[in-house]
Amino acid sequence: MNNHPFHLVDQSPWPLTTSMGLLTMTTGFSMMLTKNEYMLMIMGLSITLASAMQWWRDIIRESTFQGLHTKKVMTSMKIGMILFILSEIMFFMSFFWTFFHSSLSPAIEIGMQWPPKSIETFNPMNIPLLNTMILLTSGLSITWAHNTLLLKNWTATIQGIMITIALGIYFSIIQALEYTEASFCISDSIYGSTFFLITGFHGIHVIIGTMFIMVTMKRMMKLHFSSYHHIGFESAAWYWHFVDVVWLFLYISIYWWGS
């Protein structure tokens, strides 16, 4: 028996294999861009994903079946997730800084106007507004699922999670269709670069968040969560709310004000 509430982790190969996978993936990404060779990139991505899945599997076993995640450990994991989301906020803030730097003082190369000359922007009242309503509704559904989990209504919790997943997939499909209908591309001046960079990274975060919630639903069906112990679910919900808030800033600044 331990005389402390902390979790001293066992020896694990997954940090080492993850590091090897990330190094391989980074090197492969460089080769993909310079030599148009994809094999090393695919290999590194496969190693990274396999290591992550095994690592998360071990964490689930430690928390759900071995009972190693005490109240102190759960508090530290919440703090870790909050710090991760703060780092993501800084990540997106750098892109918004680029957008406002270019839009508030347009250079002569883009016609000294914003949007740049010859750029036909999206109507913010069409698809962008629909995507905004989809994400706001998904935020409501994941909040409903969290509240029903606290009330021990497992059926309603799974329903709320399924609604959130469906809305996340719907958002990604609509954004993909929006990209195909765009009259400009990422190489069309600073507007195209910032537009596709910000919306693209947000779209990746939506896909990651959707997968995060899918894993949460699978664990919910296996009764891994209780009204007291559900850090995995809370982390997924916080991440999804972060994605919602970033989209609101993105919609207001890029689609509405920037157009």
Q: What does the pLDDT read at residue 16?
A: 96
The tokens for 174 are 């609509």
Exposure string over 216-228, b if 16+ CB within 10 A, otherwise e: bbebbeeebbeee
Distance in angstroms (rounded) separating the CA atoms of residues 244 and 139 = 7
Q: Quote the number of domains for the chain.
A: 2
pLDDT in tens, 89-108: 999 999 999 999 998 988 88
Residue 5's pLDDT is what? 79
Q: Which of 68, 96, 119 marks a domain boundary?
A: 68
Q: Are residues 107 and 148 in the same domain?
A: yes
Half-sphere exposure of 170 (CA within 13 A, CB side): 17
Q: How many residues does the chain have?
A: 259
Task: Using the structure block, give the residue that is written with the tokens 């000294």.
Answer: 112
| Number of other CB atoms surrounding residue 53 within 10 Å | 11
Residue segments in the chain with a per-residue pLDDT below the cut of 50: none
Q: Quick one: pLDDT at residue 1?
A: 53
208 and 166 housed in the same domain: yes
Which CATH number does the domain housing residue 7 bear? 1.10.287.70
If we measure between CA atoms, which residue out of 103, 102, 101 comes closest to residue 259? 103
What is the model's pLDDT at position 2?
A: 65
Domain holding 54, by residue range, is 1-68
Cα distance between residue 208 and residue 239, in whole Å: 10
Q: What is the Cα–Cα distance from 2 to 80, expressed in whole angstroms?
A: 23
Q: Are residues 123 and 99 in the same domain?
A: yes
Q: What is the pLDDT of residue 45?
A: 94
Q: Are residues 95 and 15 in the same domain?
A: no
Residues 14 and 140 in one domain: no
Quick one: pLDDT at residue 64? Answer: 85
pLDDT at 8: 80
Mind listing the pLDDT tens digit for each residue in 217-229? 999 999 888 888 8
Alpha-carbon distance of 158 to 139, in angstroms, equals: 15
Query: Is the alpha carbon torsion for 106, 204, 202, 132 positive or negative?
Result: positive
